[in-house]
Chain A
């Protein structure tokens, strides 16, 4: 399949990419990892007249620790995060990176591209929503910082202006005693999950001091399940409180029926994923090494 013909522009810096976007107008799009955009262009669902390629901008792929936060360059590939000992300090980040699609896609796809695309089935937004995440945006008037929770507006819609791009993603290190896990149910590796759940819990003994729970693929954006969080926050993690959190997660889920399953099926599924993710998060919060792998049909 051939995409519609387009003009190719290779940016030498992020600032130059911003200038190109503003000069080329609405028909220009950024090319990062391309693992979503190129398939969409081949199917002619996306038909940009101009592509601004970010892949040749040096210094855009990095993972650093600074002032109690992890900093990710916008073009850091999923595979680099998967294999990073630094990123593994926050185990839920490793769960996410290692579970995206397959090796080939992880070698190309980027964290900045995933957030900027805001696909309702994307993995990064769900996971980063359970952490304190800021998105640095670069535009003609310089940098601004947007909290992830207000960065994603709707399906495929973000806070980014047309001539603005993601220049860095900052994730605050969770406090001591915090653990998280991300679980997705997938029909096969290369496809998007049917549903997914991210849970980050801060524990003090058996009591949950703080909880963050987000759901993926069951709404137009990743959903922060605040009622599910409240069902755990300040309480002992017991069968009863977990059941209440699961019920709250099922209630807030707003899935669309599609080829991956009916709305009821997805709602049931997301509840089961929340339950399993809570169990893994509690163990990790205690300092246990727990391997979490996505579930495949």
Chain B
């Protein structure tokens, strides 16, 4: 391979890294971030429910009206709560059901997280592979 040809190859591989691999990596990382957020949400929901259980049936809380203006709110009967169970459905669940659901959801989300982690690792190793190839090509 002459120099010109090699330069062309390097440019091609670089373009592949920039346009495909890096973009994919970003996308996958964003998805992973979202998953982490969801996992945290469900964990904190389970914690809140456990907190409720130790308390009375009433719930005193502050509601954010927007622009961080808070109003006091009282829920006279908080034994049943509505939980987003996915697909836009919000089911009325008892505390125990809600906690059970949170645990189930967490397991599922963690499985997804594993998948994402594996995918990200794959993309990263591909990037390294191509970069290594580029280095070799430009050194030769």
A and B assemble together: no
